[in-house]
Amino acid sequence: MTKSNPFSNARSSQSSSAAAQATSGTSTWTTITPRFSIQYASYIPVDHVRGPRPCLVTATGLGGEQEAEVRGWLLYKGDANRSTYRTTQSLLLIPDVGVMDGWYARAGATRNYSTYNSPANGSTLSTESTGDPWIAPYIGADEDNVQYDCSHWNDKGEADNSTFQNHTFSQASGLNIFGYGGNPLEQLGDYIRWNATFKFNDTDPSNPMLTLSVTHSCYPAHIIKINGKTVYEWQPPNNSFPYIASCLLSTVGQINNIVTMDVPAY
C-alpha cells in the first residue's frame, strides 16, 4: 500500500517557525539546540472509503409531493497519494528554554462522492484541486461541480478546528498535544481522537532521546514526525465500512503505545 505524505499542506505555515526572533542582546532563541519540529497527522490511507449512508436526491413528483431517490452510497475521498490529511498539528519546540512556536492545527478538506457514476474510472477518484484545497475548484472526471446531485462529487466541508488547538509544555511533564475531530458531513460525533506526550532527554545534545506516550482512535491512520523523521506510525488493519463503524463506538477502538527512541537533533 502506498502511503501518503499528510504534512505537505502544513509546511508553508511552518516555515516561519525557523525565522530568528530576538530575545535579548544579540542572541536569538533559534540558535539554541537541540530544537524539535514536531508534526502529527491523522489520514485515510486509501483512495476512498464508504460512508454510513446512501446518497439521496429529493425531487418533486407529478403530484407536487417531494420524493427521495436513492443514488448509490456516499464515498469519502481518502488521502493516499494526495499529500492531504484529516487532522494535523505541528509546532517547533525548544525544551531547554520552554519555547513553543509556529503552532499550526487544521482539519483537512472533506469531500464525498456518490457511487452513482463514481469513481469515474472504476477504481480511484479522479479529482485534483486547482488551488486552496478547502475552497478552490476541483477538476477531474469525478468532479461535476454540482452540489447535492448524488452524481460524481456531492458535497464538501471542513471540521471545526477549535477542537484540536490544544498543546501544553512544562519541564517536568514534557509536551502534550491532543484533540478530537470528526466528519463535518456526517452526524457521527468526533471519532478521531489523539493524545500524545513527548518527553525529551537532551543530556547529550547531539543524541537526544524521546519517550513518546500516545493514545488514539483506531481509525484512521496516525503518524508523528520529529525533525522530518517518522517516530510513530499506526495503520488500521483494514478500511472496510464495518471496521470503521466499530471505531466510532466510544467503548472500543482506543490504541495505546509507549516508545523510547533517539531522535535527530535540529
Question: Per-residue pLDDT tens for 140-170?
Answer: 999 999 999 999 999 999 999 999 999 999 9
93 with 204, same domain: the answer is: yes
207 with 88, same domain: the answer is: yes
192 with 93, same domain: the answer is: yes
In a domain, 23, yes or no: no
- Number of domains, the chain: 2
φ, ψ (nearest 5 deg) of residue 31: -90, -5
In a domain, 197, yes or no: yes
pLDDT-derived band at 58, boundaries 50, 70, 90: confident
φ, ψ (nearest 5 deg) of residue 6: -80, 10
pLDDT-derived band at 28, boundaries 50, 70, 90: low
224 with 94, same domain: the answer is: yes
204 with 229, same domain: the answer is: yes
Q: Which of 125, 143, 158 is the last residue of a domain?
A: 158
Q: Measured between alpha carbons, how far is 219 from 144 in angstroms, rounded to an integer?
A: 29
- Number of DSSP helices (H) and strands (E) in the chain, helices first: 2, 16
Element (H, E) at 9: helix 8-14
- Give the torsion sign (CA, 50, 54, 58, 61): positive
In a domain, 132, yes or no: yes
Q: What per-residue confidence (pLDDT) applies to 251?
A: 52
139 with 150, same domain: the answer is: yes
Q: Which of 98, 128, 158 is the last residue of a domain?
A: 158
Q: Measured between alpha carbons, how far is 97 from 84 in angstroms, rounded to an integer?
A: 33
Q: What is the DSSP letter of 22?
A: B
Q: Which of 142, 158, 174 is the last residue of a domain?
A: 158
Judged on CB neighbours under 10 Å (0-12, 13-18, 19+), 251 is exposed
226 with 96, same domain: the answer is: yes
Q: Measured between alpha carbons, how far is 5 from 203 in angstroms, rounded to an integer?
A: 32
In a domain, 24, yes or no: no
**Across 60-64, 153-157, 181-185, least confident range:** 60-64
Q: Measured between alpha carbons, how far is 211 from 167 in angstroms, rounded to an integer?
A: 17
Q: What per-residue confidence (pLDDT) applies to 24?
A: 30
223 with 209, same domain: the answer is: yes
In a domain, 25, yes or no: no
In a domain, 201, yes or no: yes
In a domain, 244, yes or no: yes
Q: What is the DSSP letter of 80?
A: T
Three-state DSSP class for residue 242:
helix
Quote the cell numbers at residue 52: 454510513
What residue has cell string 486552496? 132
Question: Per-residue pLDDT tens for 70-80?
Answer: 899 999 999 99
Domain enclosing residue 88, as ranges = 1-14+30-44+83-108+161-266
Quote the cell numbers at residue 201: 532527554
237 with 266, same domain: the answer is: yes
124 with 175, same domain: the answer is: no
What is the pTM assigned to this prediction?
Answer: 0.85
In a domain, 21, yes or no: no
165 with 60, same domain: the answer is: no
The string over 135-168, giving b where at least 16 C-beta atoms fall within 10 Å of a residue's C-beta and e elsewhere, is eeebeeebbbeeeebbbbbbbbeebeeebbeebe
232 with 246, same domain: the answer is: yes
Distance of CA 141 to the CA centre of its chain: 25
Average pLDDT over residues 7-16: 40
